[in-house]
A and B are shown apart, each in its own frame.
Chain A
Amino acid sequence: MLPIELYEGLETAWCPGCGNFALLKAFKQALAELDIRPQDLLVVSGIGQSGKFPHYLSCHTFNGIHGRTLPVGTGARLANPDLKVVCVAGDGDCYGEGGNHLLAALRRNVDLTLVVHNNQVYALTKGQASPTTDQGLKTTLQPQGVPYLPLAALALAVSQSCSWVGRGSATDPVHLQELYQQAISHRGFALLEVLQPCVTFNRVNTYQWYRERVYRVEETPDYDPENELWAYQKAKEFGDRIPTGVIYRHPRPLLEESHPALAAGPLVRQQPERDINQLLADFF
């Protein structure tokens, strides 16, 4: 196990009491437990409070733009599969702005971990509805209440045979650390959604609200995360009871394995030399 101080980053700029603190601590503990050195880890983020996450760590960092963590992380991973890649996004970032990239990532199955910080609200822009905001919730932008159904992202992931689907909660940090470890260790695309109370802009989905609802799915007798129909039922469950833990697991071939170019090792370690006469041969 590596010392946790190794991952110490900048001083945080989150609100006091923000759910993200529990995520940051559990994430660092998971890295230490997994012996992942900072120089072997790339964390890609977008925009939102989750976007700042890698700055508060010590590792390779690419803080890109809103919604685009997945394509950046996928490109990075294809170029250098020796790196552990973790993409960090928010609910607005990943399920809203970057929705098409999530669909593609589910199909691709590149070996990276996507962590979606889900606080069910747009916090950085001060309290508008996100794709996961409860229907009917009144916000500054939706004074009559949000008319849309929240996105059931985990059910979507299960339906698309996502390689690993899990949910953690800031209210259960010990469990969350285990889930980080499992998601990062999983071979294939892992989607870990983490419930993360926003203490400033979401006065409904509070710590208390989550504590009363969240349970560990592995405590369900005989629960089998490789049973797709059961996983689908659990992934759809979000209300009086909210399951956390490994919801679904589905081993699949990796995108990396489909690229013959990667058989000779990471692209970034190759030094391509192409003979010009061979290149021209098709055109004589």
Chain B
Amino acid sequence: MPVDLNILIGGAAGQGVHSITLPLAKTLMRQGCWVLGTQDYQSRIRGGHLFNKIRLADQPLFSSREGVDLLIALNQETVALHHRELSPRGLIIYDASEVKELPSSIPALALSPETLLPEAQGKAEIAVNAGACGAVLGLLKVPLGPLLALLKEAFEDKGREVVEWNVQAATRGYEQAGAQAFGFSLAGVSPAPEPRLLISGHEAMALGALAGGLQFISGYPMTPWTSLLNAVAQRAPRYQVVVEQAEDEIAAINLAIGASYTGARSLVGTSGGGFCLMTEALGLAAVTETPLVIVVSMRPGPSTGLPTRTEQGDLSFVLYAGQGDFPRAVLAPGTPAQGFALMAKALNLADRWQLPVFLLTDQYFADTQFTHLPGEFPEVRVDRGLATGPAPGVYQRYAYTPDGVSPRRLPGFGPELVVADSDEHTPDGHLTEDLAVRVQMHDKRLGKLKGLVQELGGITSAGAPDAPLTLICWGSSLGPVQEAVARLQAGGTPARMVHLSELWPFPAAAVAAALSKSKKLVMVEMNATGQLHRLLRQETGIKADHLVLKYDGAPFTPEYILRGLSGVV
């Protein structure tokens, strides 16, 4: 019988929901499970309700799913909000000092700080958090040793006493759960011969940036983008990256443009409203042909919207932001491994084509932890696309060339002067009002799209290659759609997923070819209006038969997508 188990850990912000999730998820991943961890939180520092979900399976996982098999309740509210999601084999583990009322029909295991950690009264949080981790392993018949090792590692810098408390509470939690009957067991799952990774989308992109030679990153904190900035910043001292926290997003992008003009590989990022502020300098990067990678991590708008939730609502904004026409590239990874590869690709594309390259992510992608194999993170090739050797004649930063890419030199590396201007300019970079030059220079810039599109594809397919039913999606929807397709196939309905991760310039020919055999097209998007659908129609004339859309701020689940297909399938 295949293992597929959903654990939900809920409580108020500050109660330690993450302190349970992280060691538990990692221990179970090391024990051979495929783990997928999601976060659901509110825009507050203390209180409120937040929960994490850990889905475990003995097969590769691409998506979270609905339902709960094991509910870990740190407060009463968690029980009230989530007990109805429990499956028939479900169980509640609860903090007995906080939870006083339980539904009588559901088996439950009480954890009390007094019995978990009698030697340290007043350390209830450590007791319950470590105790809950131990209890889960006890219920699932998983050895305790790896968790204890991980807790020792995690709390080493807090002193021997704290390590000891964690170990004792985890051990007692493990023992207390041992006698409790539970309908799930991981006894048959053993550590994989090759170690796996547990990594979030933004963490993987940070690694992609570092592997891709990143030297400069600037940003202003904003959820959900911040986790990428943090992931780079934590590694910056080791890898010689300059990290600047800017006074606002306008400064952030101009800092990165200045660093990139001078020659540092540069990255900037933001979310929603922050990108509104960056739009001004987006055109500056474009007209000065300064390479720049911009991460826009989406959350539901308009305006402040739902700050900590997820949506794919900024595709149209990013495609068209800025005054005038100029070339750009837009990429949207679907998995951490894709995020890693596309980040490295974005840095190369920006340098080689001297233009802004976007990476679109969202809160679900940013925070969700996926299990990957290390082989999915290969060595990265760095292509700076710089001109070398002495310039023939007088150097012109914006010399006309057949592909629109002018030889790029860096200030301070020779006698050539690098002149860049936000005004329309002559090939030597100086401002001009010669209207014929304007047309030539505009054509030069826009002409890059012809070559750039040749480097894009990014189509991932899954399911039956010639199934009449095709679900089209992009970015972080990959996992839920892939699982929905797998479930359709398992239920006898031939189906196929076509996922796009490279959206602009739109690889129209490749997409049209990929869809040529489909009889019924369904767009699956996390926004209210079908933004990719509009792009698909605009670029290929292909119109979907049905749209499955979601814009309530919570991520897609395979179940939601399947419900959206009722009447179509």
Chain A 71-99 near chain B by CB (<8 Å), digits 1 or 0: 11111111110110000000000000000
Judge whether A76 and B240 touch: CB under 8 Å.
Answer: no
CB–CB B263/A261 < 8 A? no
User: B263: shortest Cβ distance to chain A, in Å?
Assistant: 4
Enumerate A255-284 residues with CB–CB distance to B below 8 Å: 259-262, 264, 267-268, 270, 272, 274, 276-277, 279-280, 283-284
Contact B242 A40 (CB under 8 A): no
> Closest Cβ of chain B: how far from A28's Cβ, in Å?
15
Q: Check A55/B258 contact, CB under 8 A, given A270-B240, A279-B211, A280-B207.
A: no
Q: Are A82 and B203 in contact (CB under 8 A)?
A: no
Complex: how many Å from CA A94 to CA B239? Answer: 34
A268 near B410 with CB under 8 A, answer yes
**Given A61-B417, A68-B250, A259-B242: A276 and B258 interface contact (C-beta under 8 Å):** no
- Smallest beta-carbon distance B208→chain A, Å: 9
Name B372's closest neighbour in chain A (CB-CB). Answer: A283
A104 interfacial contact with B, CB 8 Å: yes
B259, A63: Cβ atoms under 8 Å? no
CB of A52 within 8 Å of the partner chain: yes
In chain B, what residue has the closest Cβ to A72? B258
Q: Say whether B244 contacts A78, CB under 8 Å.
A: yes
Check: B415 CB closer than 8 A to any chain A CB. Answer: yes
Q: B residues within 8 A CB of A73?
A: 258
Q: Give chain B nearest CB distance to A243 CB in angstroms.
A: 29
A58 within 8 A of B: yes
Counting chain A CB atoms within 10 Å of each CB, the highest count among B207, B258, B378, B416 belongs to B258
Set of chain B residues within 8 Å of A54, measured between Cβ atoms: 419
Instruction: Evaluate contact between A61 and B419: CB separation under 8 angstroms.
Output: yes
Q: Is the CB of B211 within 8 A of A65?
A: no
- Expressed in whole angstroms, the minimum distance between the Cβ of B64 and any Cβ of chain A is 19
Residue of B nearest to A259 (CB): B242
Q: How near does chain A come to B340, taking the closest CB pair, in angstroms? A: 9
* Closest chain A residue, CB of each to CB of B231: A282
Contact check: which of B240, B257, B259 meets A272 at CB < 8 Å?
B240
Per-residue A-contact encoding for B273-291, CB less than 8 Å = 1, 0 else: 0000000110010001000
Bound complex: CA A59 to CA B288 (Å): 16
Q: CA–CA, A272 to B217, complex, Å? A: 15
A72 CB contacts on chain B under 8 angstroms: 254-255, 257-258, 261
Q: Mark B209-229, 1 if CB is under 8 A from A, else 0.
A: 011011110100000000000
Query: Does A184 make an interface contact (CB < 8 A)?
Result: no
Q: Decide if A44 is an interface residue (CB 8 Å cutoff).
A: yes
Contact A276 B255 (CB under 8 A): no
Contact B216 A75 (CB under 8 A): yes
In the complex, A283→B372 CA distance in Å? 10
In Å, the complex CA distance between A70 and B248 comes to 13
**A-contact bits for B231-262, CB 8 A (1 contact / 0 none):** 00001110111101011101110111111111
Closest Cβ–Cβ distance, residue A109 to chain B (whole Å): 13
Q: Does A62 contact B (CB under 8 A)?
A: yes
Bitwise interface map of B from 259 to 272 toward A, beta carbon under 8 Å scored 1, else 0 = 11111101000000
Which of B207, B213, B216, B411 has the most chain A CB atoms inside 10 A of its CB? B411
B251 touches A59 (CB 8 A): no
With contacts A83-B411, A261-B240 taken as known, whether A268 is within 8 angstroms of B380 at the C-beta atoms is no
Query: Is the CB of A100 closer than 8 A to any CB of chain B?
Result: yes
Stretch at the interface among B190-198, B441-449, B516-524, B543-551: B190-198
Given the contacts A39-B415, A64-B284, A267-B216, A78 and B259 also touching, CB distance less than 8 Å: yes
Q: Which residue of B lies closest to A256 (CB)?
A: B242
Contact B251 A100, beta carbon cutoff 8 Å: yes
Interface of A is mostly: helix
* B residues less than 8 Å from A274 (CB atoms): 210-211, 213, 239
CB neighbours (8 Å) of B246 from chain A are 71, 104
Assess whether A61 is in contact with B216, with CB atoms less than 8 Å apart.
no
Residues of A within 8 A of B2 (CB): none
Closest CB of chain A to B237's CB: distance in Å? 5
Closest Cβ–Cβ distance, residue A61 to chain B (whole Å):
4
Q: A83-B412, A268-B412 are known contacts. Are A61 and B236 too (CB-CB below 8 A)?
A: no
Residue A60 lies at the interface, judged by CB distance under 8 Å to chain B: yes
Closest-CB distance, B221 to chain A (whole angstroms): 15
Decide: A283 and B197 in contact? CB cutoff 8 A: yes
A63 touches B421 (CB 8 A): yes
User: Is A38 interfacial (CB-CB < 8 Å)?
Assistant: yes
In the bound complex, how far is the Cα of B242 from the Cα of A74, in angstroms? 12
Q: How far is the CA of A44 from the CA of B422 in the complex (A)?
A: 11
Task: Write the A15-38 contact mask toward B (1 if CB under 8 angstroms, else 0).
Answer: 000000000000000000000001
CA–CA, A104 to B250, complex, Å? 12
Which residues in chain A, 97-134, are within 8 Å of chain B measured between CB atoms? 100-101, 103-104
- Residue ID in chain B nearest A104 by CB atoms: B247
Complex interface bits, A34-52 against B, C-beta within 8 A gives 1, otherwise 0: 0000111010100100001
Question: How close is B356's CB to chain A, nearest CB, in angstroms?
Answer: 15
User: A158 vs B460: C-alpha distance in the bound complex, in angstroms?
Assistant: 58
Q: Which residues from B are CB-within-8-Å of A44?
A: 258
Q: Is B161 an interface residue (CB 8 A)?
A: no
Q: B195 contacts which of A75, A83, A103, A284 (Cβ < 8 Å)?
A: A284
- What B residues does A63 contact at CB under 8 A? 420-423, 431
Q: Report the minimal beta-carbon distance from B427 to chain A, rounded to whole angstroms.
A: 14
Q: Is the Cβ of A283 less than 8 Å from the Cβ of B411?
A: no
**Judging by beta carbons under 8 Å apart, are A71 and B250 in contact?**
yes
Residues of chain A lying within 8 A (CB to CB) of residue B261? 62, 72, 75-76
26 pairs from A and B in contact (CB 8 Å cutoff): A39-B417, A54-B419, A58-B417, A61-B417, A62-B261, A70-B251, A72-B257, A72-B258, A75-B254, A75-B259, A75-B262, A78-B216, A80-B264, A101-B250, A260-B240, A261-B215, A261-B237, A268-B262, A268-B263, A268-B412, A272-B214, A279-B210, A279-B211, A279-B377, A280-B197, A280-B374
7 extra A-B contacts, CB within 8 A, seeds A80-B412, A100-B250, A267-B263:
A42-B262, A63-B422, A68-B281, A71-B258, A72-B257, A74-B255, A79-B259
Q: Which residues of B are interface residues toward A (Cβ below 8 A)?
A: 30, 195-199, 203, 207, 210-211, 213-216, 218, 235-237, 239-242, 244, 246-248, 250-252, 254-264, 266, 280-281, 284, 288, 374, 377-380, 410-423, 429-431
Residues on A close to B: CB < 8 A? 10, 38-40, 42, 44, 47, 52, 54-55, 58-65, 68, 70-80, 82-83, 100-101, 103-104, 259-262, 264, 267-268, 270, 272, 274, 276-277, 279-280, 283-284
Closest 9 CB pairs of A and B: A75-B258, A71-B254, A268-B263, A79-B264, A72-B258, A104-B247, A75-B259, A75-B255, A60-B411
